[in-house]
A and B are shown apart, each in its own frame.
Chain A
Amino acid sequence: MSGGLHFNRGRPCRISVSYSMKNNTDNEQDETYLQVRNVTKMFGTFAALKDISLDVNEGEFVCFLGPSGCGKTTLLRAIAGLDIQTHGKVFQGGREISDLPASERDFGIVFQSYALFPNLSVNDNVGYGLVNVGTSKADTHARVVELLSLVGLEDQGDKYPAQLSGGQQQRVALARALAMSPGLLLLDEPLSALDAKVRVHLRHEMKELQQRLGVTTVMVTHDQEEALTMADRIVVMNDGNIEQVGTPEEIYGSPASPFVAEFVGTMNFLKATKGENSQIMLGTHTLTLNDAEKAKLNGSSVLACVRPEDILVRGVDDSTANSFDTKVKNLEFLGSFCRATLVYGKDDTELQADFSINLVRDKGVEEGGNVRIALPANSIHIFSAG
């Protein structure tokens, strides 16, 4: 990184991931870079955001993840000052920005459409804000060249946006958003308009760039894969509320609610009843749980959740804990693995399991056949069946 780019104004280059956010929300002067406090956004009588509080650490990459209409874009626009919240406060870098217009806040933004100025060259797009603050021509040019090389487009400066591919346009938009060395980078579904292949590639590139620059970043996405691969922390939103905040591993491995469990990854929701000794009954099968999940058992009926890839077949016999027999109803070939629809119990309850091609071959799994599976205690999540 060249010293000419002042991205590292005392910010850590490596990410310091802090999980201390939940317990100090009353203190507005903590070390987090961006603080959202009790933000509510009303559109008429409809509450798009319901009393949202959130902290983003300096240099962190946070993703707002959720289905369309969950409020993630509304929250981003409130942080940017584009649609200011109805109630609540927003702080950035220790300064209250709750009521400031976008032009008085400190952020760079990339939209899904990129909003590149079509009649200006790539150079002029990237240098658009620099010219305005009175940077000399030579300095602006040097800076533009630097930014473009940062995103790998050093030789495209004289082209117009329409002459670039979607991925290149996206990178120009990113360079433009970074031109003014903003304290906060906001990304509104920045990869959604791209082809799948380009998307995967850019995902990696953007994450790397963000890490190198250490710029605090908030990205809105509805693509769980994007969030899981790019974010330091994910904020899962639903219906104007935050469902869960956590690292990708936490979100995937210990979903805090059925919504998170279903939205991120694939999940089997199996109806079960509470048995003896903090065990649960799946039909006639008795399953044991780990201690954390045992604590969640209240009420007689619960939902036992298992991810398809956590279901075991190899090495499972009659003596294996949490194992039972199932029948293969359907076997769907998905390239690198097979998704099996299994049925068990008297009423043929369905259950999905992902089997590797190897396993299918070795074990001779086929439609109509029987297979004994195990649900390891550590992979079972319990939610109340309310």
Chain B
Amino acid sequence: MTDQTLSSASPAIVKPKLSRDDYVMRAFVLVIGLWLVVTLLMPLYAMLSKSVQDKDGLYIGLTNYIEYFSTPALFYSINNSFFIAFLTTAITISLASVFAFILSRSTIPGKGIFKSIALLPLLAPSLLPGISFVYLFGRQGVLKDLMGDYSIYGPIGIVMGEVFYTFPHALMILVAAFSIADARLYEAAEVLRSSRIRTFFTVTLPGIKYGLISAIFVVFTLVITDFGIPKVIGGQYNVLATDIYKQVIGQQNFQMGAVVSVVLLFPAILAFAVDRFVQRKQVAMLTARAVPYEPKPHTLLNRMFFLYCCIIAVMIVGTIGMAGYASFVTFWPYNLELSLNNYDFDVMDGGGWGSFYNSLELAAYTAVIGTSVIFTGAYMVEKAKGFGLIRGIIQFFCMIPMAVPGMVLGLAYIFFFNHPDNPLGFIYGTMPILVIVTITHFYTVSHLTSMTALKQMDPEFETVSASLKVPFFKTFLKVTVPVCLPAILDISIYLFVNAMTTVSAVIFLYSSDTALASIAALNMDDAGDVAPAAAMCMVIVATSATVRVFHALLSRGIAAKTQKWRKR
């Protein structure tokens, strides 16, 4: 038999027949791909092309860029942005590293409370620290004497606010890095009589290396793309993100806004690329045989650690508390009587309480639709057979939103959806476009969370289902979704809280009917109604916190209900 095959030409290649499951999955993959093309790639393309056009839409090459770089007032912002980003990164990473080390490697009491407090800034819009620092260190601030001759309006205020805003982000990454410690390495170091300091440099530091690098780039990206803090407390100190806003909203110069966006896109993409590169290098540091590290008590150090955590906690609580207090003060600083006057949003510009309800609506839609789309999409991209190239491209698309600053995405949506020829133009100025831009803005983290959960599933579930003649979607609903429920809840709460607090992507896209709470706060602050702005921020914080508590209870309930099959 072999003689025949050897003498004849190469044998026919078997072309596998596709099952119905394969067709359905591939259709889903295409739909997800199309979704990302429409909501992400085409808007970005529209923005890029806008940056090389004149006001009438004619192609003018790099003229806009030349103009940008020959206007010192504009390109000086690059310096400012980088200065703020570098300084903030250095401060945040230093503070957060020590905090993360204490949380994961010491035996101080109250670690749970300290961690919860440290994560509080995640619940607030980024303009909250700005407003709070105005009350603390501004011209009429309680602690203005601490500032001496310096003004809080400018780089000092921005850096302080950014540190507050980025601290929990860095902390989460670093705690994760510190907690994957293998006790066996520490025991080996001890047996070899290595000093504590040497152990730190030879065991601890290499262990968190990748987490540290990742945290650095995350913080850097967050700062350089943040808009809320420099807007509120930046004064005359311009950064790239505020420049986009000024060009577009202030001067209606969309082309220049596009140019600044492209300029801002560069460092963000670079930081993102480095981060991905580093993450890929991080092979499983913690093997299945690793023994978790158990910190040993150390009295003197513990006292210092405890003090350190208290100071950080007081600063965080103080910042939020100041905004909270100020929101109840009738007329700062002349009438310190407490009242709810500032919460009477309906008598102020900015959208009133309606904007808060809009925000709730946006957050709910984003959480429900976003989680469904992103998790289902991740499942299809992960589990579909064949289609390798398309799936690879979609995986890459899913990473892009992380590298695109919200301001840039928002502006790109104007160019794309407000174009007269776009058949989708009818969603411009409506709630759906806000939902879509928010889902897209926060797509990457949600996608990665989905992938992590899906990768922990036995890859043979689908095979077993096929051999039992059960279509994959039944297994998806009966097994995949229930098993991944904790991750699905995490994604929805992440989307909800971010939709509540985000300013950057939606600021170009809301209309008078769809004003949002975070934007109302920004606009009230802009109009000088700082106390109502603080009040609106507090409403957002309270909402996010409530939803978080609800989420924690729900998660605990699910854990209790499912622990029978999760643990022996």
* B-binding residues in A (CB < 8 A): 25-26, 37-38, 40, 51, 53, 80-82, 84-89, 98-105, 107-109, 111, 113, 115, 117-120, 128-129, 132-133, 160-163, 176-177, 179-180, 182
Contact = CB atoms under 8 A, between A and B. Distances in A.
Given A108-B467, A119-B479, A84 B14 contact: yes
B19 A101 contact: yes
B191 interface: no
B568 to A, nearest CB: 5
Nearest to A78: B14
A53 B1 contact: yes
B5 interface: yes
Contacts of A103: 19-21, 466-467, 469
Interface in B397-438: none
Nearest to A39: B14
A355 B468 CA distance: 51
Interface in B523-542: none
Contacts of B5: 38, 51
Interface in B155-199: none
Contact of A109 (B19, B458, B467, B564): B467
Contact of A38 (B11, B19, B465, B479): B11
A182 B483 CA distance: 28
B333 interface: no
Contacts of A99: 14-17
A129 B469 contact: yes
Contact of B566 (A108, A118, A133): A118
Contact of B564 (A84, A163, A179): A163
B567 A162 contact: yes
Contacts of A88: 11, 14
Contacts of A162: 564-568
Nearest to B2: A51
A296 B437 CA distance: 77
B2 A113 contact: no
A176 B468 contact: yes
B22 interface: yes
B461 interface: yes
B1 A38 contact: yes
A14 B16 CA distance: 35
B482 to A, nearest CB: 5
Given A51-B2, A113-B460, A119 B565 contact: yes
A135 B53 CA distance: 66
A229 to B, nearest CB: 26
B461 A132 contact: no
Contacts of B20: 103
Given A102-B463, A109-B464, A132-B474, A87 B482 contact: no
Contacts of B12: 87
A40 B479 contact: no
Interface in B448-494: 458, 460-461, 463-471, 474-475, 478-479, 482-483
A119 B14 contact: no
Given A38-B5, A120-B479, A177 B461 contact: no
A64 to B, nearest CB: 18
5 contacts: A87-B10, A103-B466, A104-B19, A108-B467, A120-B478
Contacts of A163: 564-565, 568
Given A51-B2, A109-B463, A118-B483, A101 B22 contact: yes
Given A26-B1, A101-B16, A115 B463 contact: yes
Given A38-B5, A87-B12, A119-B562, A80 B467 contact: yes
Given A87-B12, A111-B460, A115-B458, A129 B1 contact: no
B18 interface: yes
Contacts of B66: none
Contacts of B19: 101-104
Nearest to A186: B467
Most buried by B among A84, A109, A118, A177: A118
A51 to B, nearest CB: 6
Given A37-B1, A102-B467, 9 more contacts: A38-B1, A86-B13, A87-B14, A101-B17, A101-B18, A118-B566, A128-B470, A132-B468, A132-B469
A85 B14 CA distance: 7
A28 to B, nearest CB: 11
A88 B16 CA distance: 12
B503 to A, nearest CB: 40
A134 B18 CA distance: 24
Interface in B54-83: none
A179 B11 CA distance: 37
Given A102-B463, A113-B458, A119-B483, A129 B11 contact: no
Interface string B217-252: 000000000000000000000000000000000000
A42 to B, nearest CB: 9
A179 B468 contact: yes
A179 B469 CA distance: 11
A53 B1 CA distance: 9
- Specify which of B14, B458, B562, B567 lies most central, judged by the most chain A CB atoms within 10 Å of its CB: B14
A128 B18 CA distance: 23
A89 B12 CA distance: 10
A33 to B, nearest CB: 17
B461 to A, nearest CB: 6
Contacts of A86: 13-14
A114 B1 CA distance: 38
